[in-house]
Structure 1
């Protein structure tokens, strides 16, 4: 069995020569499932001496971080999870100060410094605000990994430039580093590091490496003996082993479940009765089935026969259901919870009684603008459910969209979806940018760049353009444009050439969402959807087509009159 992330931990805190200890520290090493999905968290906070309630701030910061971080979605990245939690903590602390007698004196409010270390897979994630420090010990030397946010006015006067609770807005430093077995991290408050040298600290760790609690105690006592007059806290974390790969429920199922047989109508399969084939492709087989226990009608998906020998494909196949279970949106196909233990490798989702967008487009070759707006808005709502969980669909196309009998549109097929929280774990099949269908794929993917929500926005804009014009905005040129220079030569074809009664400003909206440079697209998907109905005034001014296109007869009459006037003027001369 592959090794897991394992650490040794030592901690010690002392009030020193002060009447109370305003420092607070802690660590959380979760069980196997969360160890893989969220990692290990170590946190340290230091209250400020000018505040009588700063110890409440430091305790709240550490305790809230260590509990709330592990309650965030396992689809989120470490950065997203930690920063969301810290912003909430900062808001609460700042609000407490605003409702206290010290609302106008932030140095006496609910304020503390904060430093945290999150270890996930083979990476260390550092979060820091204030003047506590995180060091890394390698080859007998200490390397400072954080920057002090203390502003020094003179040799003996300084103040904190940044801290938790000090302001409504939080600016926190973030850094990520690769881990190696044997790495040792030291988290320390200023009462420690200002009174012990790097060489002394490294020597104490070397002497007491078998007992990190004792090593932390010796570091604190040495700093105290050297004249520290502040609270003192030290935490030591050593990396004992790293995972060879992410081990989770998906991989466990791969090892336990047998490959299913070829399914046929009226066949009994693992508690289901197969009704008929819904869709067969080179990547998967989908059948309509009935759960014999509940009578529910479901869509049952099995791996492609051609790819069953590919472990990365099989993991990606099971990952689709993992993703679907975490999405709860009326415009995203819903996974059905397993009613019993499975014996075979397959996934089950709700059955959508309808047709694909591809078929709908064939049946409705020229939908009106209002219908297209409604379709785009439904797709956008589904995409935002992905983006809120730091997921990118990456394969949005008409074949992966279903419209049911009520007109509700649903996104299906998550085979190319990228999940930020899983990509951090270096699991096979979760780290690459998996391209979808080339005609709908954002240009940046062809440059080898990572996707963003603006990449899904591009794919949605392609679908909107195709609905209105019956063609693709750049044809097949996007897939051939493999350099930045080639992409700059891509030319958007205006919709007004499609012989449709479409407002000219729609071209401006679609042209922006379809820009080859993602930085030139809309910052948010909601902006694109909004401007499809409420045009930007700047677009209205630019979008007015020339007179030749608006009224050719009037143009030629005017030109003829101008020429006639010129001829008369020449004759009079």
Structure 2
């Protein structure tokens, strides 16, 4: 089944046409996947461009088709979800490395196959294209009378067979070929798999494309037909072929300049005072001012809507690394959809300065709320804990670490609704390592609820957030900390052995035993001993209310022994004696046979 689409109605400058065709004797064993994605949103098209991609797995792979499909769909979904201020190379390489890590880890759980596939992708933006390639998929460019291969084969010859020496999911680390190519009107790019090598010549490609210039689907079908005939004549007709063509129909004018001003190019606003105006927003209050950011209460003069504005500190230079993270904060808030996480709102009109807007919260931080509600019952506190856990879980589902889960960043509104705020230390797990996340958390400031690995400079992960969440819940239920020594005071790993957990039930007997046991595990000083998934702690919180009023026994206590009468004990003894005799006879028989 082939398709064709013209992008001229989406963007007046760049216009693309494409088509493709598959040929496979057995569709269930097809090992290739292809796609072309042209965003409907003009802004996204101008920033991220259009993408053409092909993935191809090996024919010996039992899940070859799934490997190719996951590679293509995963790259397209994640690439167009990256922050707008990332350039194309940063976005594509980070997505490919994250996808490679996932495929490599999942292959360990598959028998008879793996999520390994070669991959080639070209991103078209403006008058340029960007090629990202690994493996043995083939990409050619037809420009006038020149037909050349622009991808480089990463293959190894073993026993007369050619195997990819580099591919997605083959190793935990991956090398990605990257190439910038200028575009000309009429350029045609051909994507195909290694299986076609030896069946078609450059002349075949050029004739088929030019004869079907008005129908790229037809050109792909013609190439597939010729390849199938020649492969059959040579005795390997079972091979699967695929072809994808992308043609550049028109390009933006040379002197158009940047079509969209990215957020990172906007100037930092000066220090604002009550009564000042910026982009039609009136400053009504000053919420906080720090060395890195200023937060204001604002009102839209047109709609009278109240919002919260966050801006970088004017003292920061345009090259300060914090500015890139400031843009990431906005990206996080726009993509995390949870009623328990502060919501980023779209500005009412185009911005002329660097800031982002948030929905206001009519409430107070958790520590202030507890001071005013010391009589809050265990059910109220458990309800707050469950809401907070759902907020953290919403971030983790987007592969985001909060890294600053503490009472002052947890707002309680007038309806006792929990809202987790402050993205100042948030980091993405998409990054190549967690050193940047660790440095970011330290720069934002550690606290008594921070996991020990932050103070010791060890690796951080979702389980680090799990510790901070559990520590905050422990404090919420008991008013105390789980350890006599604050984890942020540790000097080396040997100090972890000095941390002895204090049972929450010893401080507050109303804490259910099932929750106390869950908190003890989530608060383990050793990160590897905590829950593998946050959902396990959420499960304990969900069931804690059932046992809130019950006098539960500690789950670690041994089960009561079941007493047996004399006849029952005699029968059990005879049964085990018979089993032991049978095993002994079997062993003797095996020895005699040998």
* TM class by smaller structure: 0.5 to 0.7
Match of 1:459 in 2: 468
- Taking the TM superposition and a 5 Å limit, the aligned residue runs for 1:152-551 are 176-181=173-178, 188=193, 228-231=236-239, 233=241, 252-255=262-265, 257-308=266-317, 311-365=320-374, 367-421=376-430, 423=431, 434-435=441-442, 437-474=446-483, 477-481=486-490, 483-498=492-507, 501-503=510-512, 506-532=515-541, 534=543, 540-542=554-556
- d(CA) in 1 for partners of 2:512, 2:484: 22
Match of 2:165 in 1: 145
Shift in Å, 1:297: 0.7
- d(CA) in 2 for partners of 1:265, 1:540: 56
Alignment partner of 1:41 out of 38, 53, 64? 53
TM-score by length of 1: 0.61
| Number of equivalenced pairs | 442
CA gap of 1:79–1:476, structure 2 versus 1, over 3 A, is same
- d(CA) in 2 for partners of 1:230, 1:297: 66
Match of 2:81 in 1: 74
SS of aligned partner of 1:439: coil
Cα deviation 1:393-412 (Å, max 9, x = unaligned): 12111121111111111011
Cα deviation 1:140-178 (Å, max 9, x = unaligned): 98763379xxxxxxxxxxxxxxxxxxxxxxxx8775412
Shift in Å, 1:464: 0.9
CA gap of 1:284–1:80, structure 2 versus 1, over 3 A, is same
Is the Cα–Cα contact under 8 Å of residues 28 and 41 in structure 1 kept in the other structure? yes
Backbone CA RMSD of aligned residues: 5.5
- d(CA) in 1 for partners of 2:419, 2:317: 28
Deviates more, 1:447-456 or 1:32-41: 32-41
Is the Cα–Cα contact under 8 Å of residues 77 and 420 in structure 1 kept in the other structure? no
Match of 1:26 in 2: 34
Q: Gapped runs of 5+ residues in structure 2?
A: 1-18, 83-93, 104-112, 124-129, 138-150, 181-190, 210-222, 245-257, 559-594
Cα deviation 1:468-513 (Å, max 9, x = unaligned): 2323223554224354433233222223453665455543221111
Deviates more, 1:520-529 or 1:325-334: 520-529
CA gap of 1:454–1:510, structure 2 versus 1, over 3 A, is same
- d(CA) in 2 for partners of 1:251, 1:446: 40
Is the Cα–Cα contact under 8 Å of residues 24 and 46 in structure 1 kept in the other structure? no
Deviates more, 1:117-126 or 1:519-528: 117-126
Is the Cα–Cα contact under 8 Å of residues 466 and 534 in structure 2 kept in the other structure? yes
CA gap of 1:118–1:364, structure 2 versus 1, over 3 A, is farther
- d(CA) in 2 for partners of 1:46, 1:375: 51
SS of aligned partner of 2:554: helix
Shift in Å, 1:26: 2.9
- d(CA) in 1 for partners of 2:486, 2:494: 13
- d(CA) in 2 for partners of 1:355, 1:138: 58
SS of aligned partner of 2:441: coil
Shift in Å, 1:139: 11
CA gap of 1:492–1:117, structure 2 versus 1, over 3 A, is same
Cα deviation 1:319-343 (Å, max 9, x = unaligned): 2121111122111111111111111
Is the Cα–Cα contact under 8 Å of residues 403 and 465 in structure 2 kept in the other structure? yes
CA gap of 1:345–1:502, structure 2 versus 1, over 3 A, is same
- d(CA) in 1 for partners of 2:24, 2:332: 50
Q: Gapped runs of 5+ residues in structure 1?
A: 1-10, 49-53, 86-110, 129-134, 148-171, 237-247, 545-573
CA gap of 1:405–1:542, structure 2 versus 1, over 3 A, is same
- d(CA) in 1 for partners of 2:380, 2:71: 46
Shift in Å, 1:314: 1.5
Match of 1:115 in 2: 117
Cα deviation 1:201-242 (Å, max 9, x = unaligned): 9xx99xxxx9xx9xx999999988975443254899xxxxxx
Shift in Å, 1:281: 2.9
Deviates more, 1:174-183 or 1:272-281: 174-183
SS of aligned partner of 1:298: strand
Cα deviation 1:237-275 (Å, max 9, x = unaligned): xxxxxxxxxxx99993222x1221221112222201111
- d(CA) in 2 for partners of 1:440, 1:250: 42
Cα deviation 1:5-29 (Å, max 9, x = unaligned): xxxxxx99997999xx967553547
CA gap of 1:508–1:112, structure 2 versus 1, over 3 A, is closer
CA gap of 1:504–1:489, structure 2 versus 1, over 3 A, is same
Is the Cα–Cα contact under 8 Å of residues 156 and 163 in structure 2 kept in the other structure? no
Higher relative contact order (CA 8 A, sep 6+): 1
SS of aligned partner of 2:326: helix
